[in-house]
Structure 1
Amino acid sequence: MQTLKARLSAQGYLQHPSRGGSGNPGYYAAATADAITRFQADFSLTQDGRAGRATIQALNRQPADLLATLRANLERLRWPFNQPVDRGLVVDIASAEATLYDKGKAVWHNRVQVGKPGRETPELRSLITHFTLYPAWNIPKSIFVIDMLPRIMSDPGYLQRRNIRVLDHSGNELPPEPAYWPSPASMRLQQQPGPSNPLGSIAIRFSNPFEVYLHDTPAGELFSSPERFYSNGCVRVEDVESLAGTLFGLHSWRTEKPFDERFANSETRNVRLPRSVPILMTYRTAINSEESAMRFRSDRYRRDRYLISLLDRQEPAR
């Protein structure tokens, strides 16, 4: 406990108690718990006031490691696509949060779920152009072959239970029995709208080479997790309908009502925005915040170390 208090004090989170608190063990316990909670907030940890494994690991990070994190993030800020967004949506991948700005002010903020390690959500900048209401899910080839094909082969009713169609690349439907399928390269799977569809009720679309988008999800219970790295690369958005309505009404000459009227019908269809809205998907493991001088996040994708290795090369990397 003394080592913990010394570390919190050295980092400026635990001040020496005033004379009014001397001799009161409860005061010291409360002060330590409050210091741990403030430290947890600055390192994007669960703020429970307890020195658990993740908190101890963060406390043990060496100054050189923190300086390297700052160096990596300062380098990211130099990249042209990472320029600040005055009006648009910013998806902060490292913290699994999204914020919509209008004239520099946050008008919407919520939690998201991003790609798990190995299926990382990409960094990009683009323009949101439209929504798909009650979308079908065109299952990516990697998920089809790696995740689904073994289940389909061992469970004849898998496709029917999940309302999945088997199609060729011309859109013609194929038999659901694998024995009649051509090679996986010449076919695709499409899950129809419904309760089991992982896209939920809406997908938010923007052009990008990674075929990712923002969407609803039936896995809403995962938003309460402190680190929300669960998807296959796309971004699952908590209360995505409110985001879509805010995007649709972002320009003063339009309101949310036209979007709400379209949403009342449960048919699959596209709804275009009155004007496209910028989107920035960025990966930042250290940021300035209004509450504290600096806030750190875990580097779940291990991108900081690789970036530092490039910066340390004598010849600048292209």
Structure 2
Amino acid sequence: MTSATLHSDATRQQADAWQRQTSLRRLYTVLGVGLLLAAMVASMWFADEANAGHFFERLPHILDFLSWLVPKDWNDVWRALFDIASPSDKGTQEFNFPLGRVYIWGDFYIPEYFELMLTTVNVALVSTFIGFVFAVPFSFIAARNLTPHPALRLVVKRFMELLRAFPEIVIAGLFAAIVSTGPIAAIIAIGLHSIGALGKLFYEINENIDMRPEEGLRAVGANWFERVRFADLPQVLPNFMSYTLLRIEINVRASTIIGAVGGGGIGEELKLSISRGFGAKTLALVLLLFVTIFLIDQFSAWLRRKLVGEQAFLMGAG
């Protein structure tokens, strides 16, 4: 049998194997889509039964809430945002914009929604700081190549898994029963979840560092803390800061959600505004939240590029 025949047979076998694999993937895709559609139909049927048969009847009206979201006077959105009196104010809560002013000195005030947004951002910053402070040492203990003891590594990893196993809103509900509702419960909840989430990201970074500096310090008798401080931490700190900045973005959104269930900040006011049908106030809150998150995203992205380097982002894009 010639080499050309052998090469042809090998090529045919590879083509057949690729075709079988492609057909199998298509089958799995069809099965997956079919199961998803079946689950959707079953959930809609259950919702219809749970709502006494009114689910499908009311389905065409699912976007009716947009009718009250559109204000009669679009200038009321800006008035609500900056606590300026509205001509529509007849003593009702819907247009009592100046009543929310937070006076600082004399006639100088901070608009209510800006003050609430600062509370939300502060919750995110404090929570992220707590997460960073605890996640850094935990990450070095949990890293397979750096841990001081395998048993200690196992305990720390399981502990961080427990912290990130529950959503922040569940943890906030638990601590709200202990310390009452407000920013403190939100800080505890988001901070604990951040420890687990950042700890996992950090120890995965640690497990891929260059071990030569570590081995050099070990050879001259440095202890574990000295090796971590002078050999390991300088290698990973820029990436640690990059992930921490990313976590701030996530925590701003999380603190908004928790605020809607009693965690304080802008989320609580947004929930009340939506439930009462205050269109101008709702749009003002949504606009402020969008602009704040956009600015935080842009600033943290710029700062991450400065810490990690532009080349890392170019390699990731490629």
- Normalized against structure 2, the TM-score is what? 0.21
Structure of higher CA gyration radius:
2
Between Structure 1 and Structure 2, the one with more strand by share is: 1
Bigger relative CO (Cα 8 Å, ≥ 6 apart): 1
State TM-score, norm by structure 1.
0.21
